């Protein structure tokens, strides 16, 4: 609210509206992306992404697309390269802020953390955020977070399907 103490770097004008006017879409509607993050991203890449052939090129330029080293058909490593790209750093910070968020992205982050270490989960979520930014800027689609409830319903259906498959492979049938 307005009664909160103003941070010294907070712009003294309505930056959100100005940025939305410049970009044609309000990127702050993406969970985790604040005005500062959006400002950094837009100052680094600008609102016109036509110089990137596709979303993979955009994520690769940000250093968020895994470069896969393959030898003899075997994947040796699939790491993202280190980069001092300011937009990348802003997206990684935004991803970190989602760990306690009750959005679909927050749930996605927590699910990844259960499977891998935090830095890798963070990069994966930053990659997802970058894709959302790309699609919002190129397609002008109004992005609305699906919300954790929708995400959890999907997860429940996936778990149930997996259980049914497992039961079937063991010769059982699940009754509702």
Q: Are residues 54 and 114 in the same domain?
A: yes
Same domain, 99 and 137: yes
Same domain, 55 and 89: yes
Q: Which domain holds residue 154?
A: 147-176
Does 41 map to a domain? yes
Tally of structural domains, the chain? 2
pLDDT at 5 over 70: no
Stronger pLDDT, 116 or 78, i.e. the higher one: 116
Q: Are residues 25 and 111 in the same domain?
A: yes
- pTM to 2 decimal places: 0.73
Please indicate whether residue 84 or residue 35 has the higher confidence score (pLDDT): 35
126 and 66, same structural domain?
yes
| DSSP calls for 84-124 | --HHHHHHHHHHHGGGG--SHHHHHHHHHHHHS-HHHHHHH
pLDDT tens by residue, 48-95: 999 999 999 999 899 887 766 666 766 666 666 666 689 999 999 999
**The pLDDT of residue 174:** 77
The confidence band for 125, taking pLDDT boundaries of 50, 70 and 90, is very high
User: Phi, psi at residue 6, to the nearest 5°?
Assistant: -75, 130
Above pLDDT 90, what percent of the chain? Answer: 41
Judgement on whether residues 56 and 76 belong to the same structural domain of the protein: yes
2 or 43, greater pLDDT? 43
Q: Are 132 and 152 found together in one domain?
A: no
Both 128 and 73 in a single domain? yes
Between CA 176 and CA 151, with CA 160 as vertex, the angle to 5 degrees is 125
pLDDT at 1: 46
Residue 5 falls within a domain, yes or no? no
The residues, ordered by sequence, that sit 6+ positions from 101 with a Cβ below 8 Å of its Cβ are: 31, 32, 109
| 9 assigned to some structural domain | no
Quote the pLDDT of residue 134.
Answer: 93
């Amino acid at each position: 609210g307005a009664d909160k103490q103003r941070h010294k770097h907070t712009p003294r004008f309505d930056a959100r509206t100005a940025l939305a006017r410049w970009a044609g879409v309000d990127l702050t509607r993406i969970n985790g992306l604040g005005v500062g993050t959006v400002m950094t991203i837009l100052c680094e890449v600008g609102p016109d992404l036509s110089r990137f052939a596709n979303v993979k090129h955009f994520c690769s330029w940000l250093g968020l697309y895994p470069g896969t080293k393959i030898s003899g058909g075997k994947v040796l490593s699939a790491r993202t390269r280190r980069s001092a790209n300011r937009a990348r750093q802003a997206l990684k910070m935004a991803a970190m802020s989602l760990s306690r968020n009750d959005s679909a992205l927050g749930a996605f982050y927590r699910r990844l953390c259960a499977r891998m270490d935090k830095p890798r989960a963070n990069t994966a979520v930053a990659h997802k955020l970058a894709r959302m930014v790309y699609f919002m800027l190129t397609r002008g689609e109004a992005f609305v977070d699906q919300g954790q409830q929708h995400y959890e319903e999907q997860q429940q259906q996936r778990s149930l399907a997996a259980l049914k498959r497992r039961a079937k492979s063991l010769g059982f049938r699940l009754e509702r």
